[in-house]
Amino acid sequence: MFAIAYLFLIVLFKPFIPEDLAREYLAGAILLGAAPCTAMVFVWSYLTRGDAAYTLVQVAVNDLIMLFAFAPIVIFLLGISDIIVPWDTVALSVFLYIVIPLGAGYATRIWLIRKRGIEWFDNVFMKRVGPITPIGLIITLVLLFAFQGEVILNNPFHILLIAIPLIIQTVLIFFIAYGWAKAWRIPHNVAAPGALIGSSNFFELAVAAAIAMFGLQSGAALATVVGVLVEVPLMLWLVRIANRTRHHFPAASPGPS
């Protein structure tokens, strides 16, 4: 949804935002749009009683997309927006925030299963580390707002302007995907998480990449933080819509007996 962000931030809001700053905001919007959601996917799926197996597969697909396509997509979209960023900076962001965590998680899983067995891994280890994800997300949000608090308070009007295209593109993607799933008569436990996954973003990666490429106090970093502010309440609203329209979709097929 690059076109929506460009239309609003560069064209329609030109009288209100200096051009250089508008391009920084656009860069942040690009980073958000190029990073498909992973961690929060499980939350949205759980809230809509989504199919756990489908959700896991979608997360794996999103990880692969980010691993191989995030850098080229970001470089391309920034380039056509006249925003030049070195390839090595984007590649370093991918390595630090995708390759290392993904590799560490895979190695840990293999090592623990070999040492303790799959049953211990699923029933003991995963339950112990389960709370780490929400705690990590909360800490991330606290740090983000701590570093960007002064900028947010000093630019309330710009916050509103940045939020408008982010909200529009999120809602538009959700209803396109959700309506498409309904037309294809896909069960709700796949349609709902699928639409929510498509419309949400891996905002942790987007924020980290924006800071690495443009700096902590940059407009790009601010735009990604606005994405955090917008996404959580907006996604909860979309979850409610998905749950209230459950009866419009076919029931899930029964699993194997």
pLDDT, tens digit (0-9, with 9 covering 90-100), for 164-186:
999 999 999 999 999 999 999 99
200: nearest Cα among 25, 33, 71, 56: 33
pTM for the full predicted model? 0.83
Give the pLDDT confidence of 71-96 residue by residue, as tens digits: 888 888 888 888 877 788 788 878 88
How do the domains of the chain map onto residue ranges?
Answer: 2-86+132-246
Domain 2-86+132-246 - what CATH class? mainly alpha
Q: What is the pLDDT of residue 248?
A: 86
Residue 161 has pLDDT above 80, yes or no: yes
Residue 117 · residue 125 · CB < 8 Å: no
Q: Average pLDDT, stretch 60-73? A: 84
